[in-house]
Amino acid sequence: MHSFKIKSRIWIETENGMFLGNGRVQLLQAIIETGSLSNAAKSLKMSYKKAWNLVDSVNKNAAQEVVKTSTGGKDGGGAIVTEYGKNLIQKFDDLNAETIAFLNEKTNQFEK
Amino acid sequence: MHSFKIKSRIWIETENGMFLGNGRVQLLQAIIETGSLSNAAKSLKMSYKKAWNLVDSVNKNAAQEVVKTSTGGKDGGGAIVTEYGKNLIQKFDDLNAETIAFLNEKTNQFEK
């Protein structure tokens, strides 16, 4: 007899499609860590164009700005995640943890 | 302001990896509908070999047999999903519905 484990993945959509999922949250966290979109993209081995498109999609669909970018300077401009954005990441992480706890409680349904 | 919707996907793993997810449940349902593994595979545009491997993996990791196959006959043998297997599908569908309901209740966390 094997033991079962219920696994899950969650993501947030708007009427325009994907808004926030693991990949986008990971990108936002990399922006917080590196301070720029290009370094965040590099750290995730993602093209700058793809990272830019993801951030643009998050910004356009959120109630408030999530990532603020500044152009110019010797490092080609920085990026920061706003307080609103950090709060969004926290909510997503909390919801993920709550879902995992909810499903862990249900695991015994599959034991026999 | 956009409205948010929390989406989810669940699956069941054992220590050997994937045990039951949307794709495998869909295959089991196609076996119930068509009465054979080859017809079930065809209806899902899946190779017979892939369908056989999926069923074999489910059978090997379940507490009891989920799919019973018989060989021979003019149709090349039939396949049935056992009562245990039908019960497993029901549990999976119920758990999926419960997860969706759980997350729908949380949706308002993302509204502002």
Model confidence pLDDT, tens digit, residues B13-31: 999 899 999 999 999 999 9
pLDDT of A50 higher than 90:
yes
Q: pLDDT-derived band of residue B109, with 50, 70 and 90 as boundaries?
A: confident
pLDDT of B111 higher than 80:
no
Which positions ≥6 away from B45 have C-beta within 8 Å? none
pLDDT of A79 higher than 70:
yes
Report pTM: 0.87
Euclidean distance between CA atoms B67 and B61, whole angstroms: 12
Say what the ipTM of the complex is: 0.88
- pLDDT, residue A88, reads 95
Q: pLDDT-derived band of residue B53, with 50, 70 and 90 as boundaries?
A: very high
Nearest CB neighbour to B10, from listed A6, A16, A95: A6
What residues of chain A, 57 to 86, have a C-beta less than 8 Å from chain B? 61-63
Single-letter code of the amino acid located at B59: N
The minimum CA-CA distance between A75 and chain B, rounded to whole Å, is 34
Residue of A nearest to B12 (CA): A6
Q: Can you read off the two tokens belonging to residue B100?
A: 């969706």
The minimum CA-CA distance between B74 and chain A, rounded to whole Å, is 36
pLDDT of A1 higher than 90:
no
| Contact criterion met (CB below 8 Å) for B10 and A7 | yes
Mark residue A64 as left, alpha or beta (left: phi above 0; alpha: psi -120 to 50; beta: remaining).
Answer: beta
Model confidence pLDDT, tens digit, residues A89-112: 999 999 999 999 999 999 877 765
Paired residues of B81 in beta bridges: B67
Q: Can you read off the two tokens belonging to residue A65?
A: 């700005």
Residue of A nearest to B10 (CA): A8
Strands A67-69 and A79-81, sheet pairing: antiparallel
Q: pLDDT-derived band of residue B61, with 50, 70 and 90 as boundaries?
A: very high
State the Rg of chain A over Cα.
17
